[in-house]
């Protein structure tokens, strides 16, 4: 199944157990908190770990995701009632409704096709108030992270909330023109094996800057790590902070 860790109820639980709060969440929370009582949209919010935390911090938050199973888990989180949840894509976002838009957990890389990425950026610019901020992460292709996505280096055990363990690993199935395809393998204690496949686009810093400028954003910062290190000196990341630099037409 494509993107099964977001769509299959059993794998959603695994994803939630594996992806606990970390330095990435601290980074996004800190950037959002720079705008007090912000109207925030979390595009690709998944199971809502950060989404709910932003609402608890006093922001007015909307979480958007196309995966219903992930949203079911998000709604069930303590504090989930504080968030407006939308099942769908950026096309559903209202105009000039938000001060900050975040895309976390490398959601930006799931927009593999350049035209799809451009449409998403256009939707976000329309949804942001003039001067509104866009914040997202993407892996730096110079780090070649996908070379570690193999059955040996990616082997891991994930402990679920009920105490069961899941054995997991990842294997790359194709690399072409900046797009990396891969499959996650999950083996459960009861013998069931579930697979989840996906493709991520690794854009260079220049490609990201060009796409943002074309969409009407001005880049304020691109950091290389969660402690805001320079590119190439951090965690193999591009942490992008930009703002809507022109008036967005009201649809």
The whole-chain average pLDDT of the chain stands at 96
- Of 170, 112, 99, nearest in space to 138 by CA: 112
Alpha carbons 18 and 186: distance in angstroms, whole number: 12
Q: Is 17 buried (19+), middle (13-18) or exposed (0-12) by CB count in 10 A?
A: middle
Q: Residue 1: its pLDDT value, please?
A: 85
Per-residue confidence at 245, pLDDT binned at 50, 70, 90?
Answer: confident
When pLDDT is averaged across residues 101-130 and rounded to a whole number, the result is 98
Residue 34 DSSP symbol? T
140 close to 163: Cβ distance less than 8 angstroms? no
When pLDDT is averaged across residues 101-115 and rounded to a whole number, the result is 98
206-220 residue pLDDT tens: 999 999 999 999 999
Q: Residue 250: its pLDDT value, please?
A: 40
HSE (CB half, 13 Å, CA atoms) of 192?
8
169-180 residue pLDDT tens: 999 999 999 999
């Amino acid at each position: 199944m494509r993107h099964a860790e977001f769509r299959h109820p059993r794998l959603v639980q695994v994803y939630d157990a594996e992806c606990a709060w970390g330095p990435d969440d601290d980074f996004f929370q800190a950037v959002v908190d720079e705008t007090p009582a912000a109207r925030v949209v979390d595009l690709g919010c998944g199971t809502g770990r950060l989404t709910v935390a932003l609402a608890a911090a006093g922001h007015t938050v909307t979480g958007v995701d196309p995966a219903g199973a992930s949203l079911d888990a998000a709604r069930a989180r303590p504090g989930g009632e504080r968030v407006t949840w939308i099942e769908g894509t950026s096309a559903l976002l209202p105009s000039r409704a938000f001060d900050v838009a975040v895309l976390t957990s490398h959601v930006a890389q799931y927009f593999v096709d350049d035209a799809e990425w451009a449409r998403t950026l256009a939707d976000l610019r329309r949804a942001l108030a003039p001067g509104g901020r866009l914040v997202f992460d993407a892996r730096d292709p110079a780090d070649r992270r996908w070379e570690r996505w193999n059955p040996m280096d990616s082997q891991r055990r994930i402990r679920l909330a009920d105490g069961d363990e899941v054995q997991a690993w990842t294997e790359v199935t194709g690399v072409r023109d900046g797009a990396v395809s891969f499959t996650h393998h999950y083996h459960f204690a009861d013998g069931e094996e579930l697979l989840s496949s996906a493709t991520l686009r690794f854009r260079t810093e220049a490609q990201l800057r060009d796409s943002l400028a074309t969409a009407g954003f001005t880049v304020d910062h691109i950091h290389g790590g969660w402690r805001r290190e320079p590119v190439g000196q951090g965690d193999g990341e591009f942490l992008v902070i930009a703002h809507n630099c022109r008036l967005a037409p009201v649809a």
